[in-house]
Every structure is written in C-alpha cells, then in structure tokens.
Amino acid sequence: MASAGFPAKFLQAQFPNSRNNNTTTNSTPNHLILKRQPFLSPPFSWKPRPRFVCLLSKCSSNSNVIELDEEGHDLVKMTSFSDPGLYSKELGVGVRAVHMACLLCQKIQHALVLDTNEHVSSKDDNSPVTIADWSVQATVSWVLSEAFGSDNVSIVAEEDVQVLSKSDATGLLEAVVKTVNTCLAEAPRFGLNAPGSALCPKEVLEAIGRCNSTGGHTGRFWVLDPVDGTLGFVRGDQYAVALALIEDGEVVLGVLGCPNYPLRKELLSYHNGNQITITPPTSDTGDKGCVMYARRGTHTSWMQPLLRGEETFEWPNSSRKIQVSPIDDPELATFCEPVEKANSSHSFTAGLAYSVGLRNKPLRVYSMVKYAAIARGDAEIFMKFARAGYKEKIWDHAAAVVIIEEAGGLVTDAGGHQLDFSKGIYLEGLDRGIIACAGSKLHETLITAVDASWNSSSL
C-alpha cells in the first residue's frame, strides 16, 4: 500500500479511545496502544527512524496497522501489533520468536523424557546440548533476519556450528533441519513470514553461524540463549529461552520464555528436604508455560501464556502485568540459587542467608527461571557467587535483568553496581557475584552482608 493516496493529516498515529473513534474501547494494555513518544529516559539515547502509521481499521486489538516511512515503504508487515513506539517492532518479533521456540522445546523435551539418549551431545565444558539448542538458535536467527534483514541483524549466541558441521554428525544435522522447518512452518500462526520453501542443511547451518557477534559497547546486537539450563531441560525440569536486544551497551528489551513455569503462584509445588525446587505441573491443561517480556523505560513487565493446541497468536495474547513481591522482611523472603554446585558456591550463599535472617529454605532452580520467579513475585532474592575462574556470560542474564528492573526490582553485582553488558560476551568487571532483589531494602541488607562476610569466605 502506497502513501500517495492519503493526505498527510491521515498518516498519523490514532488512539483507539480517541474522540474520533466511536467504537467500544477494549482492554488492550497501555503499552500496546498507538503512541508517538520515547520510552527511554537518560542516560539512554535513541534515534528513531522517521515513520508514519496508517490505521486501516479502528476495531481495537485486531486492527490492521501498516507502518510507512517517508517514502511510503511498509515497515511492519504484520497485523494485531498496534504500537509503533520505540523498539515496538523488535519487541513484537522477539516475543513471537521466543514463543515459537518455547513450543519447539516443549515437543523436544517430551521426546527426551521418553528417550534420555535422544540427540544429546556435550560442549567443551561437558554441559549437555541437544537438538533444541541448535534448532532454537537457527529458528530465532532466521526469524530476526527475515524481519529486519540479515545485514541488519547481529546476534550473540551460545551455540556454534562446529559439532553439526562434522562428517559424523549427519544424523544430528538432519534432525535439526527437520525440527527447524517444522517450527518455521508455524510462523504464519504468529503473524510472521515462513520460508518460501523448506530450509536445506546449508541454510540452517548459515542461520546458526550468523550468531557470531562478540557484542561490545557500540551498535545494536541481539543476545540469545537458545536453551538456558540445558541440564534441567534434559531432566524434564525447568529451563528458559532468552532473547535480549542491546544498543550501545544497554539492554533495551528482554524476552524470557519459561515453557515449564506454572502460570500461577498457587500452582507452584515444591520438593521437601534441605532444598526446594519448582516442579512443573504434570497435567496438559494449560497450567504451565509463559513468556515474560519488558521494554526499557516503560516501568512495566508482562507475562503471556503459551499457545495451546491450534490457537493462533493474537497480540497481546492474554498478557498481564507482573511485578516483584512487596516483601522486604528477610524472615519472610525466599531466595533462589542455582541447582548445580559446579559454578557457584551454595555454602557461601547459605551462610550469607543465615547472617541476614533468611529462614526459608533456598529455592534451587535451573536457568533464568530464577529471575522469572523474582519478576513475578514468587521469590524475593536471587544470589549467585561464582567459583574462582568462572566468568558470567551475558546471555545468561541480559533478558532477565531488564524484566526484573521494569517489574520494580534491582539487579546488580555484589558491590551494588549495575551489570555491564558492553564488554563482549562476558560480564567483565563483575564484583564478586550477582544479587537480584524485589526491593531496595533487601538489596541493601545483602550488599552490606556480603562486605562483612567476603574476606572470610573460601571462594
């Protein structure tokens, strides 16, 4: 559709509840209503591309929206995504890509639970990697490249193509290619373009290989962890799909898919003993699986359920606001920590927790689901203190940090400094560990306790 047939006064954003709109207003969240305003506050900077919005139909959330630049080119080729604000297209594509990836992972995990030896390999650090890792990375890479152009997309991601490129990995590559094509065939269900024909092995390897950015302090790049918590994934437990967008060293949006996370706090169940862990609901009645997301500067984080059966994705897909817990008393707070001891010290966090009065048993959870628990108010504290020699990677934190912060929480290192995502693939300059809290009072208490306890620790 060209812009020539429309006077300039009609090429403008229109609010569904404006005086000129006689239709019934709907319950679309405020962050999805058409706006022409920046969402970032200092120190963030932004240079929005010139754009106009032509609202073809004033029928609330199902309106067909076409974004046109000054030359009349279509910027957003999708329906039911009605916010042309800063990073809105990036957020919309990112949420859809992660949603697709979560459904892909659910199918593969189900097969893994039935056959624990199915397509599980190992990385150099002996951590497991499955066809889900490569398939998600290829899928998300292809979706982003299709939406924004491969020349405009830079991705930092965890997996590479070395294992899949080996001559003895033919069967594994075939499984990945089949999985990717099955997933991408569902793209129209999410309002995205599907490939004109099935991707061949070379194209799948190219999609994975495009995720070779090393990040940095300038420019724009995506950060992807295709399956965070692969050990939890192969054990039928918690895991996450994480995608963030970083611009000039700052995380500007984050999307966190948690396919096994219960949709409501009252559905959480725990193992008793010296620790507690989140147990995924065992039924298939729609009690588990969600995508959380946030955009920097909106002061709001959102959660939407995963699609069930043959449902079609229609924005905002039953999204609801989430916020951190109001609890600020250590005796009432629940703290999270990693399940495995390989890269973190449970003994130090246990001593620290006791010293500040935390009396609840630790919630040990695989992956960034720990962050999700804080963002939604299911827990109040996440502490991780890495063992000597271990370096935190940006894809393990970027997406979740912005979601917690926009939900009202804080995430810093143990010295109280913001995490620095501008130094490449690692969180360089990290002061001792990472502390995420639901509020400033708990955060200050923990920072003080770390300073008092650190010199006597054996980390």
pLDDT digits (tens, 9 = 90+) for 343-378: 667 778 888 888 999 988 888 889 999 999 999 999
- pLDDT: is 85 or 203 the higher one? 203
Tell me if 225 is assigned to some domain: no
The binding site for Mg(2+) comprises 158, 225, 228, 396
**Statement: the pTM of the whole predicted model exceeds 0.85:** no
In a domain, 79, yes or no: yes
Burial class (CB in 10 A: 0-12, 13-18, 19+), 291: buried
Neighbours of 333 (CB within 10 A): 24
Number of domains in the chain: 2
246, pLDDT greater than 90? yes
* Residue of 83, 133, 237, 378 marked active site: 133
8 A C-beta contact, residue 199 and residue 181: yes
Residue 54 confidence (pLDDT) above 80: no
Out of 77-81, 175-179, 454-458, the most confident range is 175-179
Annotated binding site: 158, 225, 228, 396
> Residue 169 domain-assigned?
no
- 216 in any annotated domain: no
pLDDT at 47 exceeding the cut of 50? no
Asked if residue 218 belongs to a domain, the reply is no
Domain end point (choices 69, 86, 103): 86
In the annotation, is 133 catalytic? yes
Q: Is the model's pLDDT at 46 over the cut of 50?
A: no
Whole-angstrom Cα distance, residue 65 to residue 57?
Answer: 8
Q: Does a structural domain hold residue 271?
A: no
DSSP string, 271-328: --SSSB-BPPPS--SS-EEEEEEEETTSS-EEEEEPP-TT----TTTT-EEE------
Residues facing residue 242 across a β-bridge: 225, 256
Choosing from 230, 334, 412, 445, which is the catalytic residue? Answer: 230
* Weakest mean pLDDT among 7-21, 170-184, 382-396: 7-21
Give me the mean pLDDT over the 60-70 stretch: 37
User: Coil, helix or strand for 74?
Assistant: strand
In this structure, are residues 325 and 438 in contact, taking their beta carbons and an 8 Å threshold? Answer: yes
SS3 content of the chain, % helix, strand, coil (to 5): 30, 20, 50
Q: Which residues pair with 220 in a beta bridge?
A: 247
- The rounded distance, in Å, linking the Cα atoms of 121 and 128 is 6
Indicate the pLDDT class of residue 417, thresholds 50, 70 and 90.
Answer: very high
CATH number at residue 420: 3.40.190.80
Residue 383 lies in a domain: yes
- Percentage above 70 pLDDT, the chain: 72
Q: Of 43, 60, 86, which residue is a domain's last?
A: 86
Q: What is the mean pLDDT of residues 293-298?
A: 96
Mean pLDDT for the stretch of residues 313-321: 93
- The candidate with the shortest Cα–Cα distance to 430, out of 391, 402, 387, 382, is 391
* Among 86, 102, 126, residue at a domain's last position: 86
Determine the structural domain holding residue 76 and report its residue range: 1-86
Type of residue at 352: L
For residue 179, indicate whether it is catalytic: no
Q: Is residue 108 part of a domain?
A: no
